[in-house]
A and B are shown apart, each in its own frame.
Chain A
Amino acid sequence: MPTLALPPATEPALLPGFNENVLETARSGEPALLQAKRTAAFEAYTQIQNPEAFHEEYRRLDPKKFKFGSFTRLDIPREAIAYNARPVDEHYDVVISVTPDGIAIEDRADVTGGKVTVQTLQQAALDHTSRIEQHLGTAIRSEEPRKFFELNGAFWNVGFHIHVAKNANLPKGILLRYHNDREGTALLPRLLVTAETGAEFALAEQFTSPDGVSTLCISCREFHLAPNANVKLVSLQDWGNVGIHIGEDWARVQRDAKVDLFSMTLGGVVSKMTVGCNVCEPNASAYLGGLFFADRKQHFDQKTLQFHSAPDTYSNMLYKGAVKDKGYSVYQGIIRALKDCIGVDAYQTNNNLVLDPGSRADSIPSLVIDADELACSHGATMGNLDPEQLYYLRSRGISEPEARRMLVLGFFEEVIERVPFEVMRDRLHEVIEEKLNPFARD
C-alpha cells in the first residue's frame, strides 16, 4: 500500500543539529505545557527513522540535500521588537513579522483581544492552556508519522497561535512574514490555528531571505476547524537562491467546515513541502492548491495527503508546476478513504509544464481506497507549451517571448485566481514573471 510515512526506528534516530541539548535550550523558561509538548514531540521524532534516499518518500529528493549539520537553530528573542510597516501591510488586519532579532505582532485594525486571538505560543500556553493542550501537535493522523512535524514540535523557535471565536470573522486577514538573513542558521516556525464553529478568515505567509545566505527552514502549520468554519491560507515560499525549506501543513476539518490550503513554492534551492488534510466529519471539505516553478537547478518536492476518515467528505487538489533551466520538480500524492467512508468525493490533479529539455518533472498520483461507493479521480499531465496556442498569440502580433510568458502565467492562473488576497496574487504574478525573464534575475 502506498504510504509516504517513514518506518519506525529501532533505536533513537536523531538528525545532526537536533538533539537533547538543543531540546533543553528550547524548553528552558517555557510554560510547563509547552515543555511537555516538546518532550513528547521529541520522543516521537526519535522513534521515526531518519530519512534516507532509499525511502519511498525520498527517492526523488536525497535528504543529504537538506545539509543537516550545517545549520544552527536560531535562538529568537521572545521580547517584542519594533514593527516596521511595509506598504502591503495595509491589506491585512494583523501583521506578524519575524526576523532573527525578534518578533513583532502589529494589530493594525484593532481586531484582537476579543473574538480574535493572535499571540505567541508561549503567551497562549498561559492564557489558553486547555485549548493549546488539546490542539498543539494533534492535527496529524497516527497512520502517517511525520518526522519533520515532530522535529518542529520539539525544536520550534518561533510559534504563534491564531484563534477566531464562534461565528467571528476577520475583515481582511492576517499576514505572517518571516525573514532570515543569518548565514548557517535554522528557522523553525510553528503555527497553530484554531477556528471555532462558523469562524471565517484568511491567512497569508511569506518567507524571504537574501540571495547567497544559506538558511534552513523547517516549518509546521496546524489547522483545526470546528463545524462550519472556513479558513484559507496562502503561503509563499520565496527564499533567496540558496535557502532550504521543509514544510508540513496539516488540517483537521470537522462537519460542514472548509479549508483552503495554497502552497506556493518558488524560492530557495531545495524545498520539500507536505500538505495533508483530514476531512473527518460528514460534509467537511478541503481544497489543496499548489504552485511550483523550479528553475536554475532548483529542486522542489511536493507531497499531498487527502485523508477521508468519515462518509460524505470532499477534497479537491490541484497542483500546477513548471520547470526550466535544469529545474527539477516532484509531485507525489495520496488520496486515502478509510473503510466505510461512503459518499466520498476526492480529486487529485497535477499539471506540469516542462519548458526545456534539460529540466525534469515527476508526477506520482495515487489512490488508497478501503471504502466503496465513492467518486475519486486522479490525473497528471506533462508537456511543453501548446504550439497552437503560441501560434495563435503570435498571429495577433504578440512576440514569441511575450506569448510564452502569457501562456505560463495563464497555465498557473487556474490556481492563482482562487488564492485569497489580491496582493498575494499580484506578488505571485511578479515572481513568475521574474523567472520567465532571463534578465530580471542574476
Chain B
Amino acid sequence: MADLEIKNLHAEIDGISILKGVNLEINKGEVHALMGPNGSGKSTLSSVIMGHPDYEVTEGDIVLDGESILEMDPEERAKAGLFLCFQYPVAVPGVSISNFLKKAMDARHPEGKAPAGPFLKEMRENMAFLEMEPAFANRGLNEGFSGGEKKRMEILQMMMFKPGMVIMDETDSGLDIDALQIVAKGVNKMRGADMGLLVITHYERILTHIAPDRLHILMDGRVVMSGGPELVTKLEEKGYDWVREETAATA
C-alpha cells in the first residue's frame, strides 16, 4: 500500500463536479509531478487533499499512511504529516511570522509547547538557508509580500514542519528564476526517504529544478496518463492535444 493513496476521488464545489475519479499513489522518497491544462482540476485536487471546507467529496477516498483522512479537519491532516504549499498564500496582517510559526510548531509538539530556544535557532537557520533577512520574522504573515517572498515563506514552513507528504500547488507560478532556484534549493534539501512530494504545475520549467520520478497528466478531473520522466519531454514537444488523441484512441 502506498503512503498516500487517492482512490477514485470525486469532488465538487457549489454542486459543480470537478474531480471525476482521480487515482494516484505516492510513496515517501518519491517525487511525482502532476500536470494538466487549465481547468483540469489540479488546484481542486490540492484543496480537497488538504480539506478545504468549500469542497465536498462525493465518492472515493484519500488514505494517508493507511488511514482515511476524509473525515479529518485541515489541522488534523496537517498534524498527520500533510503539507500544502499554497499557490496563493493568504495574507494575515497582525500575525507575525515568528508568532505564526511558533503556534504551528506548538500544535505539533507532544506537550503542546515547542521550546522557544531550539525553535528560534531552527527558524533562523532555515531562514538563512532560504536567503531571508532575520528581521523578516517580525513581519505580518504574507502581508505586502512579493510573489517570491510568499513562496519562500511556504518553503520555510515546509522545512520547519518536516511533513511526510507535500503537495506543491503551482509553486512556480509568478516566480522569477532566482526565486525559483531558492524554492528548488529548499525542496531538494528536504527531498529524501522521509518525504513524498507531489508537484502540481502548469509548466515544465520547475521540473528541471525538481526532477520528478513520475509524471501524471490530469484532464477533466481524471488522471489520463502516467509515465516516467521521459513523459515531460514528450509533453513539451507534443502538447496536450497529443494526450487527448492518445487517450481518445485507448478509450
Contacts and interface: CB of A to CB of B under 8 A. Distances in A.
A410 B94 contact: yes
Given A394-B75, A395-B84, A407 B104 contact: no
A395 B52 CA distance: 9
B53 A397 contact: no
Given A393-B100, A395-B84, A397-B161, A409 B94 contact: yes
Nearest to A399: B75
B240 interface: no
Contacts of B92: 389, 392-393, 406-407, 410
A407 B95 contact: yes
Contacts of B93: 410-411, 413-414
B107 A402 contact: yes
Nearest to B88: A388
B75 A397 contact: yes
A398 B107 contact: yes
A56 interface: no
B74 A394 contact: yes
B90 A397 contact: no
B78 interface: yes
A434 interface: no
A395 B83 CA distance: 8
Given A386-B90, A399-B107, A414-B93, A391 B84 contact: no
B94 A412 contact: yes
A387 interface: yes
Contacts of A409: 94-95
A386 B53 CA distance: 13
A396 interface: yes
A400 interface: yes
Contacts of A391: 52-53, 74
B150 to A, nearest CB: 11
* Among A386, A396, A410: residue with most chain B CB under 10 A: A396
Interface in A407-425: 407, 409-414, 417
B163 to A, nearest CB: 10
B73 interface: yes
* Among B74, B77, B78: residue with most chain A CB under 10 A: B74
Interface string B93-109: 11100011001100110
B140 interface: yes
B157 interface: yes
A386 B78 CA distance: 20
Interface string B160-174: 010000000000000
B107 A395 contact: no
B97 to A, nearest CB: 12
A77 B74 CA distance: 60
A395 B108 contact: no
Contacts of B108: 397
Contacts of A395: 50-51, 74-75, 77-78, 84, 86
A387 B191 CA distance: 32
A397 B95 contact: no
B124 interface: no
A414 B94 contact: yes
Given A388-B90, A396-B157, A397-B161, A410 B79 contact: no
Given A391-B74, A392-B86, A397 B104 contact: yes
B89 interface: yes
A412 B95 CA distance: 10
A411 B84 CA distance: 25
A104 to B, nearest CB: 37
B78 A396 contact: yes
Contacts of A388: 90
A392 B90 contact: yes
Contacts of A396: 75, 78, 100, 104, 107, 157, 161
A97 B89 CA distance: 48
A393 B86 CA distance: 12
Interface in B150-205: 157, 161
A409 B94 CA distance: 7
Interface in B50-88: 50-53, 73-75, 77-79, 84, 86
A392 B89 contact: yes
A413 B94 contact: yes
B94 A397 contact: no
B188 to A, nearest CB: 22
Contacts of A394: 73-75, 78
B103 A402 contact: yes
Contacts of B100: 393, 396, 406
Contacts of A389: 90, 92
Interface string A183-205: 00000000000000000000000
A400 B75 contact: yes
A87 B75 CA distance: 39
A174 B106 CA distance: 37
Nearest to A403: B75
Nearest to A412: B94
Nearest to A417: B94
Contacts of A387: 53
A357 to B, nearest CB: 18
Contacts of B50: 395
A388 B94 CA distance: 15
Nearest to B77: A395
B137 to A, nearest CB: 15
Contacts of B99: 406
21 contacts: A386-B90, A389-B90, A391-B53, A391-B74, A392-B89, A392-B90, A393-B92, A395-B84, A397-B79, A397-B104, A398-B75, A398-B103, A399-B107, A402-B103, A403-B75, A406-B100, A409-B94, A410-B93, A410-B95, A414-B93, A417-B94
Given A410-B93, A411-B94, 13 more contacts: A388-B90, A394-B73, A395-B78, A396-B157, A398-B104, A402-B107, A406-B95, A407-B95, A409-B94, A410-B140, A412-B94, A413-B140, A414-B93
Interface of A: 386-389, 391-400, 402-403, 406-407, 409-414, 417
Closest 10 CB pairs of A and B: A410-B94, A413-B94, A397-B78, A410-B95, A397-B107, A394-B74, A396-B104, A395-B74, A394-B75, A388-B90
